């Protein structure tokens, strides 16, 4: 068993002692369930052909359409050794008796030229299922970089519109002229009684401002007029002055945005076809997933499945 395959299995499925090759076989079974979840996928099953006495140990059996279409898989977890013609020939002996719709040999490594030729002759698919490497990101989207310019309104300037009514201001009143904070300045009624902070009076105007912000930078400034629901009194100098609304103007400020979006998922395996028969009667989902450029299998996908008495089943939610 290769070390990386053992690590992937222990971290995603369960840390347990199994005989050599078993963890790879189970990972392969789970991957076939991921690639097409409609099938009944079983690890390590003995099958006999119709009317045959001999039984054959099959690493992975995936049955589709009420198991009328069966895909049988032979798994080889090799470090550097290539899968030779003997492996393909022995597996084909089982296929001849069992008559599945498709036989597939899956390995972590390569196939010899002789193995590829024999597989082509017999219509056996050859697939590489191996640990994912950084080189496998080539040609795939790993991150998305977005450069954009947005627009926002700068600090607005207002000109209050007085009705002409004025009276002496209370000593404690805050002056509303000049550059002031809407949180520190209050507005009053005609008797000089404080009604609340200026920001609460201007809340409807703030909503207008958000709608007035241009999205395309077509103008440098935005102007408008806001009419108060009813006149209020503001301190200006030594007097309370009645105002009914105000004109306003605000600069349009460009904001450059640079976004770098990356995924947080861990890529554990990659499954792709080394060689597929011209006529491959497996499910469309499997054929598409195994075709170029193959399918990346992520850690969270593997961790969703259990091997329950050989059958690949969803892991209970905790």
Report the alpha-carbon distance of residue 17 to residue 237 in Å, rounded: 86
DSSP letter, residue 83: B
DSSP letter, residue 65: T
- Tokens linked to 37: 């979840």
Among candidate residues 37, 62, 45, the one with its CA nearest the CA of residue 282: 62
Mean pLDDT of all residues in 297-313: 95
CB atoms < 10 A from the CB of 43, how many? 23
pLDDT band, residue 264 (cuts 50/70/90): confident
Over residues 44-54, the pLDDT tens digits come to 999 998 889 89
> Are 189 and 195 in contact, with CB atoms under 8 Å apart?
yes
> Are 54 and 97 in contact, with CB atoms under 8 Å apart?
yes
Over residues 168-194, the pLDDT tens digits come to 999 899 999 888 888 999 999 999 999
Report the alpha-carbon distance of residue 202 to residue 182 in Å, rounded: 8
- Tokens linked to 24: 């790879």
- Is the pLDDT at 259 greater than 90, yes or no? no
- Is the pLDDT at 216 greater than 80, yes or no? no
> Are 112 and 82 in contact, with CB atoms under 8 Å apart?
yes
Q: How confident is the model at residue 318, as a pLDDT?
A: 63
Distances from the Cα of 63 to the Cα of 1, 10, 228, 291, angstroms: 27, 27, 72, 20
Q: How confident is the model at residue 1, as a pLDDT?
A: 64
Over residues 16-69, the pLDDT tens digits come to 999 999 999 999 999 999 999 999 999 999 999 888 989 999 999 999 876 678
- Tokens linked to 184: 């520190």
C-alpha radius of gyration, the chain, whole number: 36
pLDDT band, residue 215 (cuts 50/70/90): confident
């Amino acid at each position: 068993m290769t070390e990386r395959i053992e690590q992937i299995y222990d971290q995603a499925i369960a840390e347990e002692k199994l005989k050599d090759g078993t963890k790879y076989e189970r990972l392969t079974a789970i991957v076939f369930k991921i690639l097409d979840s409609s099938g009944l996928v079983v690890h390590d099953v003995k099958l006999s052909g119709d009317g045959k006495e001999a039984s054959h140990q099959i690493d992975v059996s995936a049955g589709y359409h009420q198991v009328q279409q069966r895909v049988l898989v032979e798994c080889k977890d090799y470090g550097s050794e290539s899968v030779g013609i003997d492996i393909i020939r022995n597996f084909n002996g089982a296929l001849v008796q069992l008559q599945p719709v498709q036989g597939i040999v899956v390995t972590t490594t390569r196939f010899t030229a002789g193995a590829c030729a024999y597989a082509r002759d017999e219509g056996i698919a050859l697939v590489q299922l191996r640990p994912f490497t950084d080189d496998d990101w080539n040609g795939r989207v790993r991150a998305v970089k977005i450069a954009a310019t947005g627009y926002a309104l700068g600090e607005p300037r207002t000109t209050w519109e007085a009705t002409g009514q004025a009276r002496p201001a209370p000593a404690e009143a805050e002056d509303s002229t000049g550059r002031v904070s809407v949180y520190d300045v209050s507005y009053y009624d005609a008797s000089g009684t404080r009604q609340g902070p200026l920001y609460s009076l201007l809340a409807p105007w703030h909503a207008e401002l958000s709608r007035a912000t241009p999205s395309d930078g077509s103008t440098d400034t935005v102007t408008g007029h806001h009419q108060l629901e009813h006149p209020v009194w503001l301190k200006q100098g030594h007097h309370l002055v009645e105002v009914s609304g105000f004109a306003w103007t605000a600069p349009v400020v460009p904001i450059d945005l640079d976004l770098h979006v990356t995924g947080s998922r861990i890529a554990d395996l990659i499954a792709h076809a080394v060689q597929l028969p011209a006529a491959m009667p497996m499910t469309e989902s499997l054929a598409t997933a195994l075709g170029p450029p193959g399918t990346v299998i992520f850690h969270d996908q593997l961790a969703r499945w259990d091997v329950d008495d050989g059958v690949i089943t969803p892991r209970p939610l905790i």
